[in-house]
Structure 1
Amino acid sequence: MSELSDLIPVEAIRLDVAAPDWQSAVRTAGDLLVSTDVSTDTYTEEMLRNVEENGPYIVIAPGFAFAHARPSPAVRRTGMSWVRLSTPVNFGHETNDPVHLVVALAAEDAGAHTQAMAALARLLADPDTSAALDHAPTPEALRQILVGDTTPEPEPESAAAPARAAAATPSDAAPEQPAAKGSGHGMHKILTVCGNGVGTSLFLKSTLDKVLDRWKWGRYITTEATDTISAKGKASEAVAIMTSREIARTLGDVGVPVRVIEDFTSTKEVDAAMRDLYDV
């Protein structure tokens, strides 16, 4: 597993960058991947084409875009870059625009960076750490925040599992066998889906796993991050899919419930989607 600190060197961080549009912002992030010998210019073009073909689904939280493309020969090694913009730009996302932070990922494969994605999701979900990253004065100071991620994860308002009402299951317990609406008992699978299966879907999987851990439902539900094409074939194995609005439109009717998540770092939003799915 790659650590976040291993994937983002100081040389891959640029702060207060002036970008006239989203293409320029993504290209700046791609140029940093090239300059740190992570990828080639071809990969930068692939990241741009990913948004052009699939829409702004990479804007996975308010103000935050996670640029990436599929693993390809244009990737020399797994790495990331960090671009904080001086003036936010619009990607065309319905709820999360404008974007002031673009983080780019180039991955050799779909699994080596899972731990780093979980760490980054944890950092950005914490308000204090996120604010510190937004105001870090230098690349060195920002990277120190990334390296020194020791802040305990805060408990969100909706972290109880399943409900706090007197008639509901106590918050420190869970139903013996959760059953999604219209599904049977037994081990369930929930798919988190993005266009390429290596970036935003891993962010969402990490947030979903946090909710399942708090609900103590990890023994009942497995989660899998995948891409749009694979999700259509795997939907029959799942009880539900969680994804962005853009990818949900691409998927269409896959025979299982599809829950749209606007903020992939929000345990509160994923918690609410799970409550609706499992009627708790």
Structure 2
Amino acid sequence: MDYPGNPPRAVWHTTESPAGGSYFSSVAAYLIRVASEPQVIYDPVTDRIGQFGPLTQSGRALRNDGSRRTNREGKVCVQMEVLGEAAHPWTNGFNPSSKPNFRKLMSTLRAHGIPDVRPAGDFPATATAVAAKPRNRTTWQTKGGHYGHCDVPGNDHWDPGAIAASVVPGKASSPTPTPTPSSVYEPFPGAAFFHTGRTSAIVTAMGRRLVAEGCGRYNQGPGPSWTLADKNSYAAWQRKLGYTGSDADGIPGKTSWDKLRVPKQL
């Protein structure tokens, strides 16, 4: 990118072709043939998606704005060619909840830091409306978000048409709450839990974690019963954490246990 210090952006195009059927492959082949590939091609009918190259590198679907290479503006400038026609917005009747590939695409754009805004405003519904709307260079160069081909300085196409802002960019779904450690890992059961004759799935899970950490001292197992092999293995874990002497006696303590992250047993 020529201007990686400028904010990340996405640019939406339409192919001015029908969607669905065999158009996906034929349009993709055409874009390659004429050296006008974006990074992504998407079919809203079939939810099929293709990628021409890394999202962090320049696409080739925009004209330069004089000597300024619009394809290389910003930290990323991810361009999508969507099968459809600007005069008939592809978002009409489009339900993102039934399009997993589309949702993955939007999540990926957000992961690259592209905000859910349209800095240049809504995409006009007609070529006439686009002609009456200036393509603001300052906005394009300094603001991150979602643009239409119709917004980019140096270009004269009016796509993608009046695609719905509720779809592009839409809103990120509420993130799944981060599980608390107590819901993922076994809480420390207390040092008295670990004694000869104790049989528990927790002991097995602990042993497996010790093996995974390279501290296993087992000839067999790990198994459900606490044995000298478990004690020796846990002592190796304590030494790995830097404990010495009586602090590496092989009997679990809360600090070393929490660091071992024994999976929660149901």
Smaller-chain TM-score range? Answer: under 0.3
Bigger helix fraction = 1
Bigger strand fraction = 1
Q: TM-score, normalised by structure 1?
A: 0.25
Radius of gyration: which is bigger?
Answer: 2
